[in-house]
Structure 1
Amino acid sequence: MPHVPDTPNSTTLPAHIPLVREPWGMLKSLRAARENLLSILPDIATRQPMVSGKTGRRWHMVMDPDAIRQVLLERVDDYPKSLVTKNLLRPAIGESMFIAEGAHWRWQRRAAAPVFSHRNVTNLAPVMSAAAEAACARIDAAGARAVNMADEMVRATFDVISDVTFSGDDGFDRQSIHRAIDAYIAEAGRVSLLDMLGMPDWVPRPARLMTGHALRDMKHVADAAIEGRRKSGPRATADLLDLLLAGEDPETKRQMNTGELRDNLLTFIVAGHETTALTLGWALYLMGFDPAAQERAHAEARAVIGTDVANADHLQDLPFVRQIVDETLRLYPPAAILSRTAQTADELCGREIRRGDTVMLPIYALHRNHLLWDDPDQFRPERFADRKAIQRYAYLPFGDGPRICIGASFAVQEAVIVLATLLARYRFSAVPGRSPKPVMILTLRPEGGVWLQAEKRP
């Protein structure tokens, strides 16, 4: 699928993917999906409330907020995560709460919910501030050279998630876990023809078998770290592992065993840095794309924090920086497509849904739907000046309903702290000819990186 190039002086649109305007067959769709899932989204999905078709099995793309509410809230048990999603992720994160359904999901969610309370998330802010300071030191060390801010943000957010997960465990090889999961996603997480045909889970997916050894080693390392913490006891300042070890389902008093803890921790490690890193990388790209918005954000950040580092106490005084984060998540939602499998007959937007149908919520198309947003492909942070004006279920960067991302407040707090700190200290300028391309395999990444010049402000 051709990419529309953008330049730093573009007066058109920020980086985007032209969507499909004609029907594709299964093999062409498969080839395209393995390279970029966004490339199979039809343009009509940005102009209609619902689109249906058949590619191996019946599917429906839903962009109508009321119908999405039905899927994610009113009949959530009738629309579990699709087999494709589970087949992609189960080898890496087992039956963690991201994959589990029904009662097994509910008790895990109840046990983990207090971990992400407002108080606990606020208490973790100093780790985020320290990561922002470390990122500034690396940018300073780069001097006049252009910096790939996508890579820098991955490093910063991984510093945060590893510090709040396994603080003080010097013997725990954090980087090996990061590399193992990243390799699994990159090499084995691509859409398989067997998945598209709806073949059962026990049919081997050859590409995924190749990464099994690395995943087994990673799980053994994580298990050892969990057992070591059980023996040594909690840290003076509780980290994520301490909180999960102490957590229990308030209804059944059940606690997570080592395997359940490991699967959920690995989920938090991946999701807890990947999604925030992507949000920050794309936000910095947009700052280079829109210098006027960058100057406004700089003025706000400098007035609030000076040249210091942002912290949790500053969040309420950084409304425009928060709007930039929100608008970035609209244009480049990390989880750009959600997939569900209908378990019973239903009706959405007046259309028949049969048991076994795939129901997709293409968040990328929802966030750019012309029925819901004015000039949806434009970068306009001020859309979010009045959050109450945003239609519920038209904006879903973290999902919604009972399965809304448990770490959403953690991610937003981290993004605002890091972004405000960077914008207070630097002026970011785009590098000509190096605009990123939005590519989704499992998450929506800036292919080619986010290359920016960072000029230190006086």
Structure 2
Amino acid sequence: MVPETQPEVPARVSLATEPMGIWGSFRAARRNLLGLIPEIATRQPIVSGRTGKRWHMVMDPEANRHILKDAVEDYPKSDVTKLILAPAIGESLFIAEGPHWHWQRRAAAPAFSPRNVQGLAPVMTAAAERASERIAQAEGRAADLYQEMVTATFEVISDVTFSGAEGFDRAAVHRAIDAYIAQTARVSLLDILGAPMWVPRPGRVVAGPAMREMKRIADMAIEGRRKAGRRPVPDLLDLLLAGEDPETGRRMDTGELRDNLLTFIVAGHETTALTLAWALYLCAFDPAVQARARAEAQAVLGGRAATAADLPALPYIRQIVDEALRLYPPAAFLSRTARSHDRLCGREVRPGDTVMLPIYALHRNHLLWPEPDRFDPSRFADSRVIDRYAYLPFGAGPRICIGASFALQEAVIILATLLARFRFDRVGGREPDPVLILTLRPQGGVWLEISPA
């Protein structure tokens, strides 16, 4: 009997199939953080071990609910996470804990209300139009759509953050972010060994000048806006300047505003660019999906760019975005440090243990998803059938990403606009390689052939 051939699946990571030890774990983490995940994690609810210190990887929805919601105070961000991110974004919303996190979240929440997010949509529509103009110049040949999406989403985040700010050097901020991720965000051997936070990590010292320059530029822009006053159409900086904690009346000072704005800039453009790049790759991978999405987009948009008002009429394109976030979650690996004795999936958890939520493995777990490596946007045709804690592209619980609705709105607007106007095809021998450093990037880019729709 001739064995059945397995259907082709989109690019995936080869996970670990045997124990690696400390040195092997360090080498794997430096190359691709997802290399630390054992293949068995895609078929079990929890995997535990010791590499310098005790750790647990959790792929169980109920345990995730416990970690992220019910016992969130017992599972703060891990020391490694803070070491990597604090030099760039300080004690901002992303890594602050306890009361300091609570008041910032309350003060920032109104800026991300549905009304305000929709009010920022014209910036996204304009960026989609400019991206189309650039991509049209590459018709008939291949282009790196990842770089195109980085350009588009950085335009959006800088326009909604510092609109019209004279002296705000966007290129310098972009260079500083890239340098920071390249030099600082990789795991250190000292991280693997569980060394105390006060022990210097040499690789995180060299990015200091770029970080200081980025913060200086942001501080100048904030102070300039304070003097100039609120704009007729408020941007994100205006909304945050006006925000206050309703319980205490406290407002963010310049340093707190800067750290949170840099958080939104770093997270807000990189993650959405990745979502769009992976979504375009997946559409090229499955021409039938792309054709259905194009028909939907053209029926709704005609020849114009998408707007926020179009989103309810673009359900299939939203499903593609959701499935791209499942297969290639930008934040593919979350890490917490246990504060108290606990049990997860029947395993003992001790204070100081590292508890990891490998979102990449969770989203491809065979216990939770049928044919988990297959690209199938129809999984999200009815999101009610998906366990809330089995799908975590933006986290969950009280610390769910504050900008999730902003990112999804932007992704659908740009993706619909592009699919209505262009056809994207894979380039032989140039498959993207999913590599996680700080985010899940397509190493080598996302090279696609571009044709008019």
Q: TM-score, normalised to structure 1's length?
A: 0.97
Aligned to 1:173: 169
Aligned to 1:227: 223
Select which of 438, 444, 447 maps to 2:443: 447
Aligned to 1:424: 420
Alignment pair present for 1:397 and 2:393: yes
CA distance in 2, matches of 1:201, 1:352: 25
Aligned to 2:138: 142
SS at match of 2:149: helix
SS at match of 1:60: strand
Amino acid at match of 1:203: V
SS at match of 2:343: strand
Aligned to 2:336: 340
CA distance in 1, matches of 2:208, 2:371: 45
CA distance in 2, matches of 1:37, 1:17: 10
Amino acid at match of 1:176: A
Aligned to 1:355: 351
CA distance in 2, matches of 1:216, 1:350: 46
Query: What are the equivalent positions in structure 2 for 1:25-424 lying under 5 Å apart?
Result: 25-424=21-420
CA distance in 2, matches of 1:333, 1:408: 13
Amino acid at match of 1:447: Q
**2:139 touches 2:452 (CA, 8 Å); kept in 1?**
no
Aligned length: 448
CA shift for structure 1 position 202: 1.9
Amino acid at match of 1:358: T
Aligned to 1:7: none
**1:97 touches 1:264 (CA, 8 Å); kept in 2?**
yes
CA distance in 1, matches of 2:199, 2:62: 36
Moved more, 196-205 or 433-442: 196-205
CA distance in 1, matches of 2:301, 2:448: 23
**2:25 touches 2:192 (CA, 8 Å); kept in 1?**
no
CA distance in 2, matches of 1:27, 1:272: 34
Aligned to 1:437: 433
Q: What is the percent sequence identity of the aligned residues?
A: 70
Moved more, 216-225 or 328-337: 216-225
**1:427 touches 1:456 (CA, 8 Å); kept in 2?**
yes
CA shift for structure 1 position 144: 2.0
Moved more, 170-179 or 65-74: 170-179
Deviations 1:171-211 (A, max 9, x none): 21011112112211111110001112222222111111111
**2:44 touches 2:59 (CA, 8 Å); kept in 1?**
yes
Deviations 1:100-128 (A, max 9, x none): 00000000000000000000000111100
CA distance in 1, matches of 2:132, 2:260: 31
Aligned to 2:19: 23
SS at match of 2:164: coil
Amino acid at match of 1:323: Q
**1:84 touches 1:196 (CA, 8 Å); kept in 2?**
no
Q: CA RMSD in A?
A: 0.9
CA distance in 2, matches of 1:139, 1:373: 35
CA shift for structure 1 position 11: 4.3
CA shift for structure 1 position 412: 0.3
CA distance in 1, matches of 2:10, 2:166: 42
CA shift for structure 1 position 142: 2.1
CA shift for structure 1 position 35: 0.9
CA distance in 2, matches of 1:361, 1:35: 19
**2:334 touches 2:357 (CA, 8 Å); kept in 1?**
yes
Amino acid at match of 2:222: I
Amino acid at match of 2:15: L
Aligned to 2:3: none
Amino acid at match of 1:181: I
SS at match of 1:397: coil
Amino acid at match of 1:78: D
Structure 1 runs of 4+ with >6 Å offset: none
SS at match of 1:33: helix
CA distance in 1, matches of 2:132, 2:31: 33
Amino acid at match of 2:403: G
CA distance in 1, matches of 2:141, 2:165: 34
CA shift for structure 1 position 245: 0.5
CA distance in 2, matches of 1:346, 1:375: 32
CA distance in 2, matches of 1:193, 1:20: 18
**1:305 touches 1:424 (CA, 8 Å); kept in 2?**
yes
**1:83 touches 1:198 (CA, 8 Å); kept in 2?**
no
